[in-house]
Structure 1
Amino acid sequence: MSVLPTYEWIEKKASESKFLSDPHVKRLFELSQDKTLFEKSPDYLAKLRRDLLRSSLDFFARNSEFYQRMFDSLGIDPKAAEVEDLAKLAVPSDLLRGNGIEKFYIPNKDEGGYVFRSSGTTGKDPVRVYRSPIELLMMTMANANLFEYVYGHFLEPGKGLALFLAAEELKNHLNFVAFVDLALQYKKIPLLYGMDLLPESSGGPLWKRLVPNKQRILEFIKSKKEPKLFFSAPAGVHLLSEQFGNLGFLKRIAYKLVAGAPPINLGRGGVIVTGGGSKGFNIPEYGVIVEKARKVFRAEDPDTGQEVPVPFMDVLGMTETLTAHLDNYGVMNKIPHPLQEVFLLDPKTYKPINDYNVDGILGIFDPMAITWLEVFIPGDIMRQVPSDRYYGREFIYVRRLTEDEGWSLQRACGGTLEELMVKGGKINAE
C-alpha cells in the first residue's frame, strides 16, 4: 500500500487480525487504549513492562524459528528475561536499511498494512518498516493518549482545528506526519496541510518541490475554532516567526485587517508541536525559537481563558518507533509511552547504564510491535534524569552519534522534515 490508509480502514482491518485471539496481543491491544497507565507508579509500570517483555519474547519464539534460534544462541529464556537482556537483542538501525528488516518479520504476519520509510538523505538505502493494521491502530491510540498526557488536557473529539506545515503527501513517507494525521483522525479534529508538493515532473529534490498553500495557512490563522494546534518542524516555526516578526508597519496593518494577525491567536488550549528538535542546522537553538515564536503566537489557558505563554511540545520519533517520545517545553523533558522500554547503553561498552545525568546511547523496545521484535538502537545520545511522573525518568536529547564514532548517520523523521524546511528556504505566506 503506497498511501497511508484512513483511521476507519485501519480500525476495520485490525478487527480481522488473526492475532487478536492470542492472549499476549489481546492484552497489548487493551493496554494501548488504557489511559490509567499514566496514573500508575514507576514501579508498577516497570513490572508491567518486564511482564510484557517476557510475554513478547515468548510470542516471537512461538511464531518464528528465527527468534527461537536467536534467543537460544544468546542464552535468553523468554519466560525469565530481564530488561538487561534487551542490550543483547538491540539491532542498530543501519541493519534495517533496504531489505535488511525482512529477516526480522514473523512469517505469518498480518498482511494489508503499511510500510514507512526513512528519507534516504544519507544517499544510502532508507530504513523500511512494515506495520500491520492492528499495529497501526495501537500506534494511533497509544500516541494520542501520550499526546494528551504531555499536552495536559483532553482533546475533545471534533473540537478545534490543526495546521501541519507540511505537504499531505509526506504522511506517506514520514512517521511524524503519519502519527499526527492518524491521531487527529482518531480524535475527529480537522487537519489542514499548509504546504503543497509540486509534481515530480517539475524536477528537483523533494524540498525544492514544497511550496506554501497560502489559502490554508490563512484559513487556520483566521479561524475562531479552539483549540488551534500548529504542527511543524522547528525550522518552520522559526521561519514563520521571522516573517511575521519582521513585518513593516504597513504590511503589519494589512495583515491585521485581512487575517487578524500578528499576533497569531491559537485560542484556548492552543499549542505548537514541533517534530524532531533542532539537530545541527543553521537555525537558532530550540529555546531561542520558542522565545521568538511567543512574540508572534498567542494562546490562552483552556480552563480560565487567561493568556499564557504559548505551550511548545516536541516529538522525537524515528521510522522504527511505534510510539514517539514527547516533551512539553519548560514543563517536562521527553517521556515515552508507559509501555515502551527505553534504556541507555554505555558508548564504549554498550552495557546498560542505570545512572542519572550520564550520557548514553538510546535503545528502545516497544512490545506493541508484533510483526517484528522492535528492539533497536537509532543512533542518538540521550541523558536520563529522575522524574516524579509515571515513568520515573525523563530524557534529554543530546545529539546524534557521528560517523567518527562508527555510526552511519540517518535522519530521524522529524529531523528530515526540518531539513526540508531549511533547504526549502523562506516560507512566504504573503
Structure 2
Amino acid sequence: MNNKSQKFKLGEWIVDLESGNCVSDVLGTVRLEPKTSAVFAILIHAQGELVSKDEIIVQAWSGQFASDETLLRTISRLRSALHDDPKSPRFIETVPKRGYRLVEKAQLIDETASVQPVSGQPKRKWLYIVLAVLICAAVLAGWFIHTAKEQTAGRDLLTQADDFYHQMRLADNEMAISLYEQHIDLQPGAAAGYAGLANTLVQRAVRYTVAESEHYSSLTEKVEAGVLDNEEARNLLNRAHTLAVRAVEIQPNSAVTLKALGFVQSAQGKYEDAIETYERAIAIDDQAWQVWINLGELHGVSGNRQLAVSAFESAFQSMRARYEEQEVQIRPWIADIAAVIGTYYLEDQAYSQAETWFEDALRYAPLHESGTLGLAQVLYLTGDRLGGVELCQQLASRLQKEIRCEQLPETPAILH
C-alpha cells in the first residue's frame, strides 16, 4: 500500500504505525516496540492475506539476524498488547508451519482535515507557538526516556545471557540463546549480542548435537575425532560464523567479537586462523580470560606445551583479577583451569608447581575431582603414598563414586 496516513482501525483499536501507539477507549493506550510495530504493519498492509514467516523476517529485520523463535516472541508481544487470545484469536491468526494473517482487515483512517490559520490575534498566535514548542519538548523527552529504557533493558539481557552461557549446561545454553536473540531484537546494531549468539550456537554444536560428543572432553578432541562432521553441526557452525563476522564488522576492535570469531574458527578446524584471531583479541584486552583459555587449548593440540601453559596461567590470573566483577561467569571455570595447569606440571614431573596449582583448584572448588586426584597423585609420587590414597578415598566417599584409589599410578597420570 502507498497511503500517506499510517493510522488504521482494527476492532476497538486505533493503530498509529508511525508512532507505534495503539489506542482503545476501553483498554487505554499501549506503545509497541519498533520491531513489534514493524511486524504489525506488515500484517495490516497484507489486508488479511497470509504472510509467511520468512517474508515477515526479511521485511521487519531487513537483513539482520532473526530466527523463528524471535518472530514467535514478537507475535506474542503483539498479541499481549492487543489483548488477543491465540487460542481464540480476534486479530492475529497463526497458520501452522506457514505464517500469520489478520482475522479481519484493518480500515484505513482518512485524515484530510487541515488546521485553518488564525489572523488578527497575535497573542493567541504566540500562545500556539509556545504550546507547540512544549509539545515538541515533551515528545523528545519521551523519546529519550524510551531509548534509555531500551538500552538499559538490552544491557540487562546481555548480562543475563552471558551468565547463562558460561554455566555450560544445555538448559542454560538454550536460555542464553533466547536472551541473546531478545537483545538483538532490542539493539540490532549492538555487536555483543551477535557475538554471544555465535558462541552459544558453537556450544550447541560442540556439546549437544550428537551423543558421541560426551566421550570427548574438549572442543579440539571432538574436531579431531570428526564428531562435528554432521549436517546439524555444520549448519549451526555456518550460522555462528555469519553472526560472528557480523559482530566483527560492527565492532572490529573488540576482544568480545574477535573471541566469538576465533571460537567458530576453532570448531571448524581452522586452528591457525583461530590462533591469529585470538591473538588480535588479546592485543586489545590482555585480561580476556575466555580468549586465553581457548588459546591455551589450541596451543596444546598443536604440541606447544610451553605456550599452552603460559596461556592457561594468563587465563587464571585474569579470572582472579576479574572474579568479583564476573563471579557468576568465572566460578564454573576457574578450578578447572587451575587443575589443567597442575596436570601439565604433573606430567612434566614438576611436582612442587603441580601441587600449588591443584591446591588452587581446591580453594575454589573443595571437591573438584581432577584437582583432588591430581593432588593425591603428587602426594603418592613424592613419597606420601598413604596420604595420597586417603585423600583419594575421601573424595570417592564424598562423591559416592568408584575410584581405584589403591592403584594410584607410579608415573604421572590423572585417574578418571
Shorter-chain TM range is: under 0.3
What TM-score, normalized to structure 1? 0.25
Name the one with the larger strand percent. Answer: 1
Query: Bigger relative contact order, structure 1 or 2, given CA contacts below 8 A and separation 6+?
Result: 1
Larger radius of gyration: 2
